[in-house]
Amino acid sequence: MTETSKTATVDESNPWTTNGTRQIYENPWLRIREDSVVQPDGKPGIYGVVHFRNRAIGAIPIDDEGYTYLVGQYRYPLGIYSWEIPEGGCPEGENNLEAAKRELLEETGLTASHWELLGTSHLSNSATDEVAFLYLAQGLKQGPAQPEGTERLSLKRVPFETAVEMVMGGAITDAMSMLAILLLARKLKK
């Protein structure tokens, strides 16, 4: 099999047919629906889709000494404590970069003079439409953190290389954090 011969025949069209939809649930963060579908093999089926009302935004801050800042918080759906890059939700009407600046400030008290998009990712595409935007923040200035009521956060300043080791060793498991750290590590190796 060669790369070219296979690529030439790819059909990228939608192989699903949607015959109906019903709303299941809505809260300020999620909207869930169940579609009646015809599957790619022609058989009838259902598809439960979790719509995320906010885009997911992550910001990895790197200071002039090459250190980054990790935020620790309890993640209710998993029942675990998790060390992560600063992240949060960007509601409709807010700009992704503005949301990144807001989340970084809220969770760490940091402002940054240089911002760069590291990448975007679809976090769980079998059942959700959640999309994440991951930023690098540099030129940092420290002020007081301003956490939201739904958050009880800890803050840890570590060398960036330590954060990479935490990813590789399984001490950081949050996908957005792993992605931002690994994207940046790869970028720096170039």
Q: Could you say which residues in the range 95-134 bind its own copies, by CB under 8 A?
A: 119-132
| Among 44, 74, 116, 146, interactor with its own copies by CB under 8 A | 74
| Alpha-carbon gap, residue 112 to 166, rounded angstroms | 24
Note whether 145 binds its own copies by CB under 8 A.
no
Q: Interface with its own copies includes 94 (CB under 8 A)? A: no
Does position 146 interact with its own copies (CB under 8 A)? The reply is: no
Residue 85 contacts residue 180 (beta carbons within 8 Å)? yes
17-43 burial, b for 16+ CB within 10 Å, e for fewer? eeeeeeeeeeeeeebeeebebeeeeee
Q: How far is the CB of 19 from its own copies (least distance, A)?
A: 13
* CB 170 to its own copies: min, Å: 6
**3-state class (DSSP) for residue 42:** coil
Q: What is the DSSP letter of 53?
A: S
**Segment 4 to 23, residues that bind its own copies, using CB under 8 A:** 6-7, 9-16
Using CA atoms, how far residue 103 sits from 80, 145, 158, 162, in Å, is 21, 10, 19, 22
Shortest distance in whole angstroms from residue 4 CB to its own copies: 10
Residues between 160 and 179 that touch its own copies (CB under 8 A) = 164, 167-168, 170, 173-175, 178-179
What separation, in Å, do the N-terminal and C-terminal C-alpha atoms of the chain show?
Answer: 30
The residues in 32-61 that bind its own copies, with binding defined as CB under 8 A, are: 32, 34, 37, 39-41, 43, 45-52, 56
Least distance between its own copies and beta carbon 59 (Å): 15
Token duo for residue 122: 């679809």
CB of 123 to its own copies, least distance (A): 5
- Whole-angstrom distance, CA of residue 36 vs CA of residue 147: 41
